[in-house]
Amino acid sequence: NLIERIEVYKGVVPVTLGADALGGAVNIITVYRKKSFLDTSFSQGSFSTQRASLNAQYANRQKGFFAKLSSFYNHSDNNYLMRDIRVFDPELGNLLDTIDVKRFHDDFTSAMVTAEVGIFDKKIADELSVGATIALNRKNFQHPDNNILRPFGRFRSEGDTYIGRLRYGKRLKNMNISAYAQLGKIQERVIDTSQLKFNWAGDFVVREEGDPRGERAERRSLFELTDNIFNGQIGLSYDLAKNQKFTIATTLNTVERTGEDTVDELNRAFRTPSTLNKTIVGASYDILAFSESLKTSIFGKGYWFNGDITTQDFQNDDVFTEASFNNFGYGAALSYYITGSFLLKTSYERAYRVPETFEILGNGTFIRPNPNLNPEESDNFNVGARYSKQIDKFLTSIEGGYFLRNAENFIRFVPIGPIGEFENRIDVESTGVEGGFTVNYDDLIRLSTNVTYQNITDQNRFDEGLPNSNFGSRVPNIPYLFGNAQFGISPSKKGGGNRLQLFWNVRFVEEFFLFFEDLGDPDEKNIIPSQFLQDFQAEYSIDNGRYNISIAVSNIFDKLAFDNFNIQRPGRAINFKLRYFIN
């Protein structure tokens, strides 16, 4: 309910987003209305799942003042059925049986409250606001993220977030100014203090006195992480002339991480603070020509990154790493309407992606730090076309595209037992095609579908001086062929007092490899099997959307579903939702 719309960028990303993204981005636009509203909802579903939200705003147009509250609460036991799970004797490790069993230690709770006040449509600002957010997460872990061989019964984490923010926007005659800044603290406690050892049947043994092992690590621990964060952006766009615009945006992100283990005295991770600083400056020149049929954007980006990182080696001695990176990227994007219905588009970018905080510093649970992780750099090329046509009550749209990306220092997650770390692959090539179409009849019937084929391969001929056995192989844990389709029908048009909408969704993923395809016995390859899942959703709104009720059934036929590391996902799930909206 907090989301107004979602923008999907394929290829280059506008400099105003301030992102070091490669190949595209998803931009989520939250609700902002210059009027009062109340929006509240509650849903109940399978696996003891509850969701609730309360979003409200008071806006006074005469005084140009608003006060806004956004909040949600989510909880789920996540006790869905796992099929054909091997059960071992928790004491001796012998295989006892293979069973279907419900997850028993995977419940999750999250909540957030954001309060914001500000002014709008004033001489000094079109919008000026200050806000604060408090959020919490409570998570029990059933097993590591990348395998199910080690079930947990007590291992958990607790997180708390505190953020303050400032936002400003002003449109002048030929210039638009925008700025935001937020400062906050994110605290995470990773609790691995249990002496119990579980199996999937829920049976456990108590470790012997003097055995230091916990459920996840070789020593029991209560690890507390604190990230002090700041991020902000200043953007300016100037209309040079009719159909010409210059834009510049500067984005800054900093994090300082400290840590303390109150149980494991040998764990000194982040007792010496680690800091990361990332700055991105982007500028673009946009022009519309030939009666606005041709749009051209030429841009450049500067990337600056530095970090002082302290990690521990296998002897628990401190290792200090100074990370530093700066470089410049550039590119261009063109789109041309051959006719009013037919659009051609292409783009090229020399781009970089600086690793995220969790990729370099880890997350305290299943991702360990890698201070030597290098930024990705790549040449990205995209070309595509779109055809849209209105014929009587039919609106049809067909779109397709091709992409090529040559990436150096490609970043991927590599499992190492129950944990893992992010590493660089020296040379990875990504090529692919995608396409889709949509048919809409008078806002009563809608059919849409899309499909993607991508070939992401390791192109490094040598690995540490030796021939690379994975040369030419697809990078594992990434689907290469997938798609989805939706059929929707509404007996009444949008804008009617009451409206019923029905949707049928189909999702398909072809089988792909868990490990590199050239490794292991050809007859016993580890694969994530193909998946064909179907969902149904019905929504009924009354009194022009004031009262809303919906039901959603995901994975209707209770098929096996897996994530990118072959972890079973939920089977059939049913959710009911009630929503009340006053505008």
* Mean pLDDT value across residues 337-356: 93
Q: What is the mean pLDDT of residues 546-551?
A: 96
Give the span between the Cα atoms of 552 and 536, in whole angstroms: 6
Nearest to 278 by CA among 347, 345, 225, 232: 232
Extract the tokens encoding 372: 């030597």
Mean of the pLDDT values across residues 452-465?
89
Residue 313: per-residue pLDDT? 80
Which amino acid makes up residue 271?
R
pLDDT at residue 470, rounded to an integer = 86
The residue among 379 and 33 whose pLDDT is bigger is 379
**Model confidence pTM above 0.85:** yes
Please report the pLDDT score of residue 524 as a whole number. Answer: 66
Residue 78 confidence class, pLDDT cut points 50, 70, 90? very high
**Is residue 509 within 8 Å of 555, Cβ to Cβ?**
no
Q: What is residue 153's DSSP assignment?
A: S
pLDDT the model gives residue 355 = 93
**Main-chain phi, psi angles of 70, to 5 degrees:** -130, 135
Write the single-letter amino acid at 338. I
- Exposure of 493 by Cβ count < 10 A (0-12 exposed, 13-18 middle, 19+ buried)? exposed
- Tokens for 52, please give them: 């609730």
Q: How far apart are CA 299 and CA 332, in angstroms?
A: 6
pLDDT higher than threshold 80 for residue 538: yes
Residue 83: per-residue pLDDT: 95
User: Residue 496 pLDDT > 70, yes or no?
Assistant: no
Q: What whole-number distance in Å separates Cα of residue 407 and Cα of residue 475? A: 12
Residues 6+ apart with CB under 8 A from 329: 300, 301, 302, 303, 349, 350, 351, 352
Is the pLDDT assigned to residue 495 strictly greater than 70?
Answer: no
